[in-house]
A and B are shown apart, each in its own frame.
Chain A
């Protein structure tokens, strides 16, 4: 307890302290993050119903179909969230390796003929019926967990850019498999999230620029490698010239948002959702929000994501230990990267990549995985930490991790190279 107090006093006002300490033992509902997620889920349920019911009813189906599934997956996600929020982080740490291995295996399985299920020309799914899921979504989470462990394990071990090689190999092979599906959207979310984690981990800027440059080059190469991907790029530059074919979805989305105006047509009043706008209840649900709830609805959503970023990164800043901080930062980045990518694509600021809007879009695996990630964030918020240094730092383990971090960090602020060298070297030896 004293440890917590000492650590927290360094970063947060003392007044908040007892409150937070007390809350850490209570239910996860205590953090602002959970309110944000609940708001997003409520909005998501309403919008998924609104965006999907019209079309399904017209097609002679059950208007409640997608809503029911959304609620079922959200409930599943809640269970996962609740469980993960209470699981000791070191168990999470132990499961990182197997999870990564499994997710990689699943990414391979997707490409196996007969196993992978093809939807809209992309092989992204495994399983059948209600048990169908997207391995790339699991890979996203596994990679964040792995990167957090990797970067936390060797804060000083990264002397040259080559020290990032193990992480690089894992990320590149995963992203490669995702790109093969092909699923540029998820790949980009992974790449951006990994970048954000490198930034958070304090990796020197020149490395980040170098890696960023390489990543941008490879992604552009990939984007130009297939005709339909090239078409997407040209379409992005001027969707109205391709309104009848390649730009159709983009244009219909813009029409939906534009015709919604400032206050929207009213909930349930979208016309675009009925056979005009493809994927109205998944990737393009933002357009329906715009059409029905107007600019105000979009602003509300953006404010919620902003609040998620604030709450998530606040958890990261107040996390106990480097691993927990990087984990929280990485998970928050995962959500925000996905949200930004979707917003940019639908608003015509980026080419279409096919990423669901976090917590809002209908997307079974994504929703469950994001709620599981929220569970991890809550875990960290409740004070979850891993004593990585207990193993690696020998005598230091007797002292508080927080104190050690503070000391080290303060020192590194003065002289990064020396600090990193001493600690990193010792731990690598241990």
Chain B
């Protein structure tokens, strides 16, 4: 049957032709259009999601949490996906605690494809939003930073912004370690938007925990005491540092006024400053021990060296007297320090000589940053020897004409307290369980000189000293008061109203294990360090000494 065979052959040709066309189209779709279609497939199937790393916590030296992160979500909306803004708003409002009307207005916006409804909603709350499964409402996972102790050490710890970046304090300076590494997840969704495959493209690495040398209890006590001082004297600001002088570990670092780390936005820029490292002031009398230490170390004087002192001393155009007028007096080196004699200290400075004095100022670490691991540290201002004027040696030995920070004073005093070794102060004890090595320290004066100075400083709190009212039963204390005029920015002259009252004290005096500085900026009513700052030292030390189980001997 040739014809039927021919016709069947023709049918075969037609079918093969049709199949060939199909094969060609399939080839075209997979080879030529394959890339584009794959891209479309990915865009509807695959989402690459950032998995935010949990920020490392900050704890005190006992492990008490000071800053922690908990899972939280940013809740956002894609307004054009929301059919009924009012209904959605009614559902969300009670969960988010927002006015339904406000929410509805946000949801009804047509000028944007993205609007945050509420950020950093704790997971327990956001879970309720997730459960509603509302179209157009998205949850972006993140963390909420919270500060369980609220205002405690806020300026030290700092705070993070809504994007999770450290804004100031340790949160800022330790950002790299605290932040960790955000992970990346590749999710494949099915047509019902359920993830059917989750793959970690980049693993999430949680931030390192940071353990401080700060002790929350001492910090808390210090802050309370400082608040008392600040409020009593209506000061502009105040700062106090508590340190273990043996290695420079900071046990407490308080600033007044306090700020709430959970709401840093409400604080003024001035209040946010960590004055312990950011405040520069003329140290006044608290500087005198360094002049004396230099002179002792150089052998220019001995503790017993006696000076016949006039009531005042005039250098060029300036006459320097004592804080409380007196007649001629004979004082030995120890007496000069105990009574904080300006004239006497200038005499000792003269014996030392300007060039050697300048050497000792730098030797004690003034004029440069201490290197403490806190951000925003100032270096103060020390004029170089070449620029000394005729009156310089009338100012500098008594702590005028140079600017220091409280932390510089603490480091220098710690050297006197620990027997002559200058340490870099430290605030961070451990990062991620690994101890942050402190420095070995630099010996700057002999143990003997340091002991001499401490003995002299005991006199400050002894009867007849400038802080004789302060005592702690059982403990021998040593310290130095300071009352410095501030320079009036308007006139460039020393102000008669603005002072910085300060006190640096240590205990037990013979082998100090505790060093405390209290600096009060512009106290009102009283100005003397012995009156304003020394009692605060007494209160702080009275708490800290037994708390740290430091024995009187």
B4 touches A322 (CB 8 A): yes
Contact call A258/B1, Cβ cutoff below 8 A = no
Question: A107 near B: Cβ within 8 Å?
Answer: no
Contact A344–B31 (Cβ < 8 Å): no
Among B40-48, B323-331, B494-502, the stretch that binds chain A is: B40-48
Cβ–Cβ contact B29 & A254, under 8 A: yes
Tell me if A340 and B18 are in contact (CB < 8 A): yes
7 A-B residue pairs with CB within 8 Å:
A260-B34, A261-B30, A271-B41, A272-B45, A294-B30, A295-B30, A413-B2
Is B33 part of the contact surface with A, judged by Cβ < 8 Å? yes
Q: Is the interface of B mostly helix, strand, loop or mixed?
A: helix
Specify which of B22, B30, B196 is in contact with A260 (CB 8 Å cutoff). Answer: B30
List, in ascending order, chain A residues with CB within 8 A of B23's CB. 298-299, 302
CB–CB B41/A259 < 8 A: yes
Chain A residues with CB under 8 Å of B1's CB are 11, 322, 325, 405-406, 409
| Further pairs besides A261-B38, A290-B26, A302-B23: 7, Cβ < 8 Å | A274-B196, A276-B191, A333-B15, A336-B18, A340-B15, A344-B21, A348-B29
Q: Is A166 an interface residue (CB 8 A)?
A: no
Looking at the complex, which one of A299, A316, A343 makes contact with B8 (CB distance below 8 Å)?
Answer: A316
| A262, chain B: closest CB distance, angstroms | 6
Q: Which residues of A line the B interface, CB within 8 A?
A: 11, 54, 58, 196, 199-202, 254-262, 271-272, 274-277, 290, 294-295, 298-299, 302, 305-306, 309-310, 313, 316-317, 322, 325-326, 329, 332-333, 336, 339-340, 343-344, 347-349, 405-406, 409-410, 412-413
Confirm or deny: B131 has a beta carbon within 8 angstroms of a beta carbon on chain A. no
Docked-complex contact A196 and B11, CB < 8 angstroms: yes
| CB nearest to B33 among chain A residues | A258
Assembled-state Cα–Cα distance A378/B510 (Å): 114
Identify the B interface with A (CB < 8 A).
1-5, 7-12, 14-16, 18-19, 21-23, 25-27, 29-31, 33-34, 36-38, 40-42, 44-45, 188, 190-192, 194, 196
CA distance A349 to B23 in the complex (A): 11
Contact B15 A200 (CB under 8 A): no
Q: A202-B3, A271-B188, A405-B1 are in contact. Are A255 and B37 (CB under 8 A)?
A: yes
Q: Provide the residues of chain A in CB contact with B42, threshold 8 Å.
A: 259
Known interface pairs A258-B37, A295-B30; A200-B19 also in contact (CB < 8 Å): no
- The reply to whether A200 and B44 contact each other, CB–CB distance below 8 Å, is no
Q: Take A199-B10, A271-B41, A409-B4 as given contacts and tell me if A262 and B26 are in contact as well, using a CB distance cutoff of 8 Å.
A: no
A353 to chain B, nearest CB (A): 15
Q: How far is the CA of A322 from the CA of B44 in the complex (A)?
A: 55
A272–B45 Cα distance when bound, in Å, is 8
Task: Give the 8 A-B CB pairs with smallest separation, nearest first.
Answer: A258-B37, A275-B191, A259-B41, A274-B190, A276-B191, A343-B22, A295-B30, A340-B18
Partner of A413, one of B3, B16, B41, B191: B3
Q: How far is the CA of A298 from the CA of B479 in the complex (A)?
A: 91
Is A349 a contact of B8 with CB atoms below 8 Å? no
Neighbouring B residues of A199 by C-beta, 8 Å: 7, 10-11
Residue of B nearest to A252 (CB): B191
Kindly report which residue of chain B lies nearest to residue A269, judged by CB atoms: B197
**How distant is the Cα of A272 from the Cα of B41 in the complex, in angstroms?**
8
- How far apart sit A189 and B182, CA to CA, in the bound complex (Å)? 57
Residues of B within 8 A of A11 (CB): 1, 5
Shortest CB distance B117–A (Å): 27
Chain B residues whose CB sits within 8 angstroms of the CB of A406 once the complex forms: 1
Q: Give the CA-CA distance A271 to B193 in the complex, in Å.
A: 12
Measured CA separation A329–B14 after assembly (Å): 13
Roughly how many angstroms separate A344 CA and B20 CA in the complex, as a whole number? 11
Q: Of the candidates B8, B9, B29, which one forms a contact with A257 in the assembled complex, judged by CB atoms under 8 Å apart?
A: B29
